[in-house]
Amino acid sequence: MSRRYFGTDGVRGCVGKAPITPDFCMRLGYAAGKTLVARENLRPGEHPAVIIGKDTRISGYMLESALEAGFSAAGVDVYLAGPLPTPAIAYMTRALRLQVGVVISASHNPFEDNGIKFFSAAGTKLPDAVELEIEARLDEPMGCEASASLGKAKRIDDARGRYVEFCKSTFPNEFDLRSMKIALDCAHGAAYMVAPKVFHELGADLVVVGAEPNGMNINDKVGATAPSSIRDAVLASGADLGISLDGDGDRIVMVDAEGAIYDGDKLLYVIAKASCLSGQPVSGVVGTLMSNLGFEHALARLGIPFARAKVGDRYVLEMLHERGWKLGGENSGHIICLDWHTTGDGIIAGLQVLAALGRQGVSLKEMCEDLVFYPQKLINVRVQPGFNWTGSPVIEAAVRAAEADLGDTGRVLLRPSGTEPLLRVMVEGRHEEQVLRLAQSLAEVVKAAAA
């Protein structure tokens, strides 16, 4: 059964356009609520319960109210956490023993977009089967429980403090950050009230940017998708390093004192390498189809197995569980450390990198000296929703020609975005000029075929 609403990271789109409308979100809450009721072994009169968190987008107020109404109509109690990072809701779902966590966020997208994503009681993304079950219920008429069976709503006042303490608990007791000056970019997003507390309470001298949300400036020239913001802050303040989160706090990019940018592949490498050097072998690392070949080769030199999942942190997590491994992520900055959390968490990933550097007594630059990346070019080509690029002989021929040009020194990857009407064209190889030429040529072929 094909998906109609759920992408790789929940339901997402432009606010005011289907499906991100208040009426749809109310029906989504009702459908999700009824699915929960059907799947739970509840005692008579017992209500299932969910927690709803959100980022700082102005549309979050509207969508929160719509979801609350839908869940209540389905007989599900609702706990409202307010602005909190996505991984905080995963944690609170487990900590409060709730059935589901709900996050209202479009992650790294601009404020005009928003989305709804769900976590299971275990703090993981919902399985595809459950999402499809929710979609099937969306086709049914929306009803309403009798008044005595309606769900209640309650605000949670201590959620931020509980999450701050949880994050701090993942940092080694024998270390602190008192000797470090850290620049921190919160993307005017969900982490703006918690991330500064975590790093400050661990002793860091902080320079904070991107922590003044107004409902419309989330991810606007700040955050992990605009790393020049944190680089400028590091260089201007003389910080030892910089940490940049995205709008919902589940991605991280870091910058060293010289302004060099470290993406998810490099940060995963730092964590994995430090673990090996400390005598704690890494069973394996999961990356994605977008992970750099240089990263894979560097892990091989350390004797660490590597596997590629489909793009999307949910698929990384699925493969980690399948293989019994603990560490994985994406070059975009989603890093999953299953020793500490059930999902990707930018703050916790940052703490694990800092702990790795502390154990080895080195800088980010020194830790990555033996990591040589292949040139990689990614071009996003806007296409019509549902564009069947796999059925285009012209695109297929262009891909074959590019692969023949690269030989065994590189690779070509075309994949649709899970959140936007884009086809991502990626070429990777040893020679930058060749990579750029082939990527641009392929992108032009796709544009012409999609026109």
Judge whether 107 counts as a catalytic residue. Answer: yes
For the record, the structure tokens of 95 come out as: 């900590």
User: Do the beta carbons of residue 301 and residue 370 sit within 8 Å?
Assistant: yes
Rounded mean pLDDT for each run of 10 residues along the chain, 451 residues in total = 80 95 98 84 78 98 98 96 98 94 96 96 88 93 94 96 98 94 98 98 98 98 97 98 97 98 98 95 95 93 96 91 97 96 97 96 95 94 90 95 92 85 93 96 95 84
Half-sphere exposure for 375 (CA within 13 Å, toward CB): 14
| Per-residue CA distances from 302 to 101, 143, 162, 299, 320 (Å) | 38, 57, 37, 5, 19
The model's pTM:
0.91
44-47 LR contacts (CB < 8 Å, sep 24+): 47/75, 47/76, 47/77, 47/149, 47/151, 47/152
Q: How far apart are CA 38 and CA 300, in angstroms?
A: 46
Cα R_g (the chain), whole angstroms:
22
Per-residue model confidence (pLDDT) at position 420:
78
User: Do the beta carbons of residue 265 and residue 287 sit within 8 Å?
Assistant: yes
Q: How far apart are CA 63 and CA 21, in angstroms?
A: 8
Q: One-letter amino acid identity for 412?
A: V
Q: Which stretches does DSSP call E strand in 2-42?
A: 6-7, 10-14
Per-residue model confidence (pLDDT) at position 47:
81
Q: Which residues contact 383 (CB under 8 A, 6 or more apart)?
A: 389, 416, 421, 422, 423, 446, 450
- Sign, CA dihedral 417-420-421-423, equals negative
Comma-separated ranges of CATH 3.30.310.50 domains in the chain? 376-450
Specify the fold of 180-261. Answer: Alpha-D-Glucose-1,6-Bisphosphate; Chain A, domain 3 (3.40.120)
Half-sphere exposure for 411 (CA within 13 Å, toward CB): 9
138 three-state secondary structure: helix
Per-residue model confidence (pLDDT) at position 45:
67
Q: Which stretches does DSSP call E strand in 112-225?
A: 113-119, 153-155, 181-185, 205-209
Class in CATH terms, 376-450: alpha beta
Q: One-letter amino acid identity for 66?
A: A
Exactly one of 59, 72, 105, 107 is catalytic; name it: 107
Specify the fold of 263-373. Answer: Alpha-D-Glucose-1,6-Bisphosphate; Chain A, domain 3 (3.40.120)
- The CATH architecture assigned to 6-159 reads 3-Layer(aba) Sandwich (3.40)
Per-residue model confidence (pLDDT) at position 1:
54
Comma-separated ranges of CATH 3.40.120.10 domains in the chain? 6-159, 180-261, 263-373
Instruction: For residue 337, report the phi and psi dihedrals to the nearest 5 degrees.
Output: -115, 90
